[in-house]
Amino acid sequence: MENIENEYTERVGNQKVTRKEGYLYYVGEDGYVYEVPKNEEGDGVRVTSEKIEIKKGYVYCVDKEGYVVRTKILRVGNQKVTRKEGYLYYVGEDGYVYEVPKNEKGERVRVTSEKIERKKEGYLYYVNKEGYVVEVKLCF
């Protein structure tokens, strides 16, 4: 496995995907890469024969060179968010977690006192299933 961008991202596949204009690429739960036309619904079409071993705690994607890479998901927050049914949770630009009602008009409400120090561009911050803020280095 080759460390390509940082200590979190590593190449895990040897088969190169030839990207086509107008398609999105993703690694399925079964470990194979699929392509799906942009702006269309439906299942993707498998485009690789190499099966990637999917491990918990990583995000898998196809990088700009066409190889499968994985990026470690790091927990960066210590304060647990208690999720409520019918709400979306996100990390605001100010570093605090907010909740907002799904499919309804409503005000956002700050739900944490802990401020997350965001890194430079290229990182995604979100509240995971357990209710903690995690950081992922984007791999594309």
Q: Quote the pLDDT of residue 140.
A: 61
Count of domains observed in the chain = 2
Are 68 and 80 found together in one domain? no
Question: Confidence class of residue 122 from pLDDT cuts 50, 70 and 90?
Answer: confident
pLDDT band at 123 (very low <50, low <70, confident <90, very high): confident
Give the domain-ending residue among 48, 72, 96. Answer: 72
**pTM exceeds 0.85, yes or no:** no
Q: Which of 72, 101, 129 is the last residue of a domain?
A: 72
The pLDDT tens digits of the residues spanning 32-81 come to 999 999 887 778 899 999 999 999 989 998 988 899 999 989 999 899 99
pLDDT confidence bin for 105, thresholds 50/70/90: confident
Residue pair 69/139 in contact (Cβ under 8 Å)? The answer is yes
82 shares a domain with 68: no
pLDDT of residue 7: 60
Question: In this structure, are 64 and 23 located in the same domain?
Answer: yes
Q: Are both 132 and 104 inside the same structural domain?
A: yes
Domain of residue 86 covers 76-137
Same domain for 62 and 96, yes or no, is no
47 with 84, same domain: the answer is: no
Last residue of a domain, one of 22, 47, 72: 72
At 34 the pLDDT is: 95
Query: Is the domain of 57 the same as that of 115?
Result: no
Instruction: Note the pLDDT of residue 2.
Output: 43
43 and 97 both lie in a single domain: no
Nearest-CA neighbor of 100 among 91, 88, 112?
88
Instruction: Say if residue 63 is in the same domain as residue 111.
Output: no
Residues 66 and 87 in one domain: no
**CA-CA-CA-CA dihedral for 73, 53, 3, 136, to nearest 10:** -20
CB 78 within 8 A of CB 130: no
